[in-house]
C-alpha cells in the first residue's frame, strides 16, 4: 500500500524498540496526531542469544506483543496507514512468523479489522547455501570462523536478513500490513520512503535510529515511541513523550550503536557513509541530521544466521558469605572442576561445567580487569551442559555436591559451603544452542525471500 507523498516530507512512527516491550498509549496517540505516513516496528534481535532462533520461540511475551500490535493495527488499518513489522517473533524464522501471524489474525477478529497482508519469509534452504559454499562465496563476519559443511549440516532455522526490496514489493502489491521474517533493522522504516523517492542514505540512517525508538532520546527508553520526519535533504527526530528529548549527543551516540566502525553502517547491498554527517538541535527536543551518503557494494550480500544444538543445560544457584572461601575461590573452583572432570573421565560421561561468580567476575569473566575480590558475599551459578537432559542433571548434581562439601584450607564449618535460595536447588534449562552460521552470502535476486499475500 503506497500512500500519497505529502508536502515533500515523510513521517514515520516508531512505536517501541522491540515489539512486545510496550509503549505509553499517550505517546502513541501523540504520534498518531502527527498523521504519520507509516507505522513500523522492529520485532527482533540476536541479542538474547541463540536459543530463541533454535527453539523457534519468541523472547518477548505473547500478551505484550498482542497489546502493542492491537494499538498499531487498530489505528493503522482504520486510518489507512501502512503497518510494517520486521523480524517477526524475535528471530524471524518460519515458526516465529507463524506465531506472530496467529496473533494478528486474533486481533483482527476481536477488533473486526479487514485488510490485505503480505507475509515475507526469510528462511534459507541449505542447498542454496551449500552451492555458494562450494564456490567459496560465503564470507565470515569479523571474529567468526569460516563456514564449514559440517557446521551448516548441523544448523537449524537458517535465516537471511532481508533488505528494503521485499518490503517494497509487498507494499506495491497493495498490502496494508507487512509481516516480515528476519530483517535488516532499518529496512522496515526505510523501505516505503525510499520507494517514494526519498534519499536512501537518509532513510536508512533514520531507520537505524528509529529501530530502537526512544532509546536514542534523553533519558532513553526502549519502551516509548519516537517520530522521524524525512525531508529532501535531512531527517528530524523527536520524542513523543514530554519526559524525553533528542539531543545531538544522544542522536550521534545512537548512530554508533552496535557498530564497530563509527563512520560506515553496512547492510544488505551497501553501506551508509557518515563521514560528512552533521547533527543540529532545532529546539523543542528535536534534532536534524544531514550529510548521510549511501554507497552500494559491487555484490549484494545478505547476512545469514543459524544455530546448532549443543546439548542440554541444568543450573544451580548458590551463594557464599564465608570470607575464607571468598579469598580462595579461584583455587577452590579449579580443584572442584578437576575433581568432577576426573569422575566424568572415569565414568565416561560427556559434558562440561562452568562457574559464573557474581561479585567477582560473573559479568566479564576472564576479561575482568579487577582481579582482587573485595566482595563480602559471592553469588555462584553452576552451569552444567551435557548431551542429554539426564546427563546435565547428573553433572550439575555432582558438581553442586562436590562444591558444597569441598574441604578448602582454613575451612571452619563442615555443614556446607553454600547457601541455596531455592529448593529444589537444581533447575533444568532445556536445550542449548550455539551460533554456527553468522556469515555473508551473495544473492542475485530477491526471490530468496518468498512472499504470501492473505486477506484478513
The tens digit of pLDDT for each residue in 328-371 reads 999 999 999 999 999 988 888 889 999 999 999 999 999 999 98
State pLDDT tens for residues 133-156. 999 999 999 889 999 999 999 999
Would 330 be classed as within a structural domain?
yes
Would 312 be classed as within a structural domain?
no
- Name the β-bridge partners of 160: 304
The rounded distance, in Å, linking the Cα atoms of 452 and 288 is 38
Residue 397 has a pLDDT of: 96
- Which of 99-108, 328-337, 375-384, 406-415 is least confident? 406-415
268 and 401 housed in the same domain: no
The rounded distance, in Å, linking the Cα atoms of 369 and 361 is 9
Average pLDDT over the chain, rounded to an integer:
95
The rounded distance, in Å, linking the Cα atoms of 388 and 400 is 18
410 and 441 housed in the same domain: no
DSSP, collapsed to helix, strand or coil, labels residue 155 as coil
Would 445 be classed as within a structural domain?
yes
CA dist 110 to 63, 113, 176, 179, Å?
14, 8, 18, 19
Residue 6 has a pLDDT of: 55
250 and 354 housed in the same domain: no
Whole-model pTM above 0.85?
A: yes
CA dist 361 to 220, 355, 401, 403, Å?
28, 10, 23, 18
What does the pLDDT average to over 406-424?
A: 93
150 and 177 housed in the same domain: yes
Structure-block grid coordinates of residue 291: 550529510
State pLDDT tens for residues 209-241. 999 999 999 999 999 999 999 999 999 999 999
Q: Determine contact, residues 148/254, Cβ cutoff 8 Å.
A: no
Residue 327 has a pLDDT of: 94
Q: Determine contact, residues 89/99, Cβ cutoff 8 Å.
A: yes
212 and 279 housed in the same domain: yes
- If pLDDT is split at 50, 70 and 90, which confidence band does 4 have? low
294 and 383 housed in the same domain: no
* Nearest partner of 383 among 351, 346, 354, judged by Cα: 354
239 and 354 housed in the same domain: no
What does the pLDDT average to over 176-181?
A: 98
Percent of the chain beyond pLDDT 70? 98
Would 190 be classed as within a structural domain?
yes
* Nearest partner of 88 among 52, 38, 129, judged by Cα: 52
Would 314 be classed as within a structural domain?
no
Residue 204 has a pLDDT of: 97
342 and 397 housed in the same domain: yes
Structural domain total, the chain: 2
Domain hosting 343: range is: 322-418
- Outline where DSSP puts E strands in 325-425: 352-358, 378-386
State pLDDT tens for residues 271-303. 999 999 999 999 999 999 999 999 999 999 999
Would 4 be classed as within a structural domain?
no
Amino acid at each position: 500500500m503506497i500512500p500519497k507523498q505529502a508536502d515533500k516530507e515523510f513521517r514515520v512512527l516508531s512505536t517501541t524498540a522491540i515489539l512486545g516491550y510496550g509503549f505509553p498509549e499517550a505517546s502513541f496517540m501523540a504520534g498518531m496526531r502527527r498523521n504519520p505516513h507509516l507505522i513500523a516496528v522492529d520485532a527482533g534481535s540476536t541479542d538474547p542469544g541463540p536459543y530463541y532462533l533454535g527453539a523457534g520461540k519468541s523472547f518477548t511475551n505473547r500478551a505484550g506483543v498482542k497489546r502493542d500490535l492491537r494499538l498499531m493495527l487498530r489505528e493503522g488499518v482504520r486510518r489507512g496507514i501502512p503497518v510494517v513489522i520486521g523480524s517477526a517473533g524475535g528471530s524471524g524464522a518460519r515458526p516465529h512468523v507463524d506465531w506472530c501471524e496467529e496473533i494478528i489474525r486474533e486481533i483482527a477478529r476481536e477488533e473486526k479489522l479487514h485488510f490485505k497482508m503480505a507475509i515475507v519469509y526469510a528462511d534459507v534452504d541449505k542447498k542454496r547455501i551449500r552451492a555458494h559454499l562450494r564456490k567459496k562465496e560465503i564470507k565470515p563476519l569479523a571474529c567468526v570462523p569460516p563456514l564449514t559443511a559440517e557446521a551448516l549440516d548441523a544448523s537449524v532455522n537458517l535465516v537471511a536478513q532481508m533488505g528494503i526490496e521485499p518490503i517494497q514489493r509487498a507494499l506495491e502489491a497493495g498490502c496494508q500490513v507487512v509481516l516480515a521474517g528476519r530483517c535488516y533493522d532499518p529496512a522496515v522504516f526505510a523501505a516505503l520512503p525510499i520507494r517514494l523517492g526519498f534519499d536512501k542514505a537518509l532513510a536508512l540512517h533514520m531507520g537505524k535510529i528509529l529501530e530502537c525508538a526512544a532509546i536514542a532520546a534523553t533519558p532513553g527508553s526502549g519502551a516509548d515511541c519516537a517520530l522521524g520526519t524525512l525531508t529532501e535533504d535531512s531527517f528530524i527526530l523527536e520524542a513523543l513523550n514530554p519526559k524525553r528529548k533528542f539531543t545531538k549527543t544522544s542522536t550521534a551516540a545512537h548512530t554508533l550503536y552496535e557498530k564497530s566502525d563509527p563512520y560506515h553502517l553496512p547492510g544488505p547491498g551497501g553501506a551508509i557513509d557518515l563521514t560528512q554527517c552533521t547533527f543540529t538541535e532545532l529546539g523543542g527536543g528535536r534534532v536534524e541530521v544531514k550529510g548521510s551518503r549511501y554507497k552500494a557494494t559491487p555484490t549484494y550480500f545478505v547476512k545469514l544466521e543459524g544455530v546448532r544444538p549443543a546439548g542440554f543445560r541444568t543450573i544451580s544457584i548458590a551463594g557464599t558469605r564465608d570470607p575464607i572461601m571468598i579469598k580462595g575461590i579461584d583455587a577452590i573452583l579449579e580443584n572442584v572442576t578437576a575433581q568432577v572432570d576426573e569422575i566424568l573421565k572415569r565414568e565416561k560421561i560427556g559434558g562440561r561445567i562452568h562457574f559464573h561468580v557474581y561479585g567477582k567476575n560473573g559479568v566479564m569473566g576472564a576479561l575482568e580487569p579487577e582481579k582482587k575480590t573485595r566482595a563480602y558475599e559471592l553469588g555462584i551459578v553452576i552451569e552444567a551442559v551435557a548431551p542429554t537432559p539426564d546427563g546435565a542433571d547428573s553433572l550439575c548434581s555432582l558438581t553442586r555436591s562436590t562444591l558444597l562439601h569441598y574441604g578448602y584450607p582454613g575451612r571452619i564449618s563442615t555443614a556446607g559451603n553454600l547457601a541455596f535460595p531455592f529448593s529444589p536447588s537444581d533447575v533444568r534449562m532445556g536445550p542449548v544452542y550455539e551460533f554456527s552460521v553468522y556469515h555473508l552470502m551473495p544473492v542475485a535476486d530477491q526471490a530468496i525471500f518468498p512472499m504470501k499475500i492473505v486477506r484478513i
